[in-house]
Structure 1
Amino acid sequence: QARKRSKLPKELPNSENVTYVTVDFTHQSLTKQLMAAGFDQSKSTVFTLEGVSQYITKEAVSSTIKELATLTQKASSIFFISYIDELLDKDPEACFGKGYPKAAKRAKLIKNLSAKAGEPWISFYGAEEMESLLSQNGHSIKENVTLEDLNSVYFTPVGRTLPENQIFKLEHFVIAKS
């Protein structure tokens, strides 16, 4: 966690309030880990679960979201989660930009490399499934985007548009609010 903290921008306001909490989502209680780290249920909080959902079971993701909903009943929260599109297995070409070379082969390679590293991707989601999971727990989705969406917002204005045949659309980035 010290490595992550060292990467925070120096000019980030209130960076001293950023807390990284290590948790094994399949064997530890998120509530216990957060409380041990000094979590204050009365304060508004931003939770980030980036690069987590594909590595743990859907049950663990659901349990995590339920725990966060319970923990944040007294104050508003913003919830950021990323997930891998279920189409990666069903229609790999749909997870890459038009004209992306050998999309199916690339999808298989990405999953194989992750598994070889000891971190297999085991859970994939559709947009409706993620929206349902979040809304059942008091969160409304404010944004659900892929790199394709972010390309025009962030890269194009600075003259760095990614060509469509180089875009990964397999990961979704969701911002939800309670």
Structure 2
Amino acid sequence: MMREDWDLLRTFFPNDWKSLAVDTNALKGLRKDKSEEKLLRTLLIHLGCGYSLRETVVRAKRANLADLSDVALLKRLKKSKEWLYKLCLSLFRERGLQINKRNNFHLRLFDATTVKEPGKTGSLWRIHYSIEVPSLSCDFFKLTGTEGEGTGESFRQFPMKKDDYIVKQIRFSKNLHTPGPSF
């Protein structure tokens, strides 16, 4: 099953995805298996499924994709930043979408997550952030509590302008009838 899913997912990649890994030095420093495929699969376990670094390395090892520590995965993720960025740009280009400063719209990705301070009584906080595409730079960051009115994952947490195009997770949509953006 996992192989079939990967084969299907790979059909959505840009044609030059493997050469981009080499061009951006994403594979540089890999000790054992210098496979673009195994590296990307491992990164997508973390990025696409939302697993922690530790959970990701356990799953990657069980799937015979990679044998590395959580710290090594973090370093590999940082080293792959340019590759992942170029993959996104290449996907846009292949689909005929050229995003640049001359466009009349601003593409943004919204998300939120919770973080807990260490310890038995550590406080729980919510991080709301927005990433600009294609630069993949964070253009908004806000830290709130997790209890009380106005602290949940909502469009109300984010500043928006008329020409913003928003990509968000489905849980932001649970109450579409509140004041905010038009759908």
TM-score over 0.5 (shorter chain):
no
Higher relative CO (Cα under 8 Å, sequence separation at least 6) belongs to 1
The structure with the larger Rg is 2
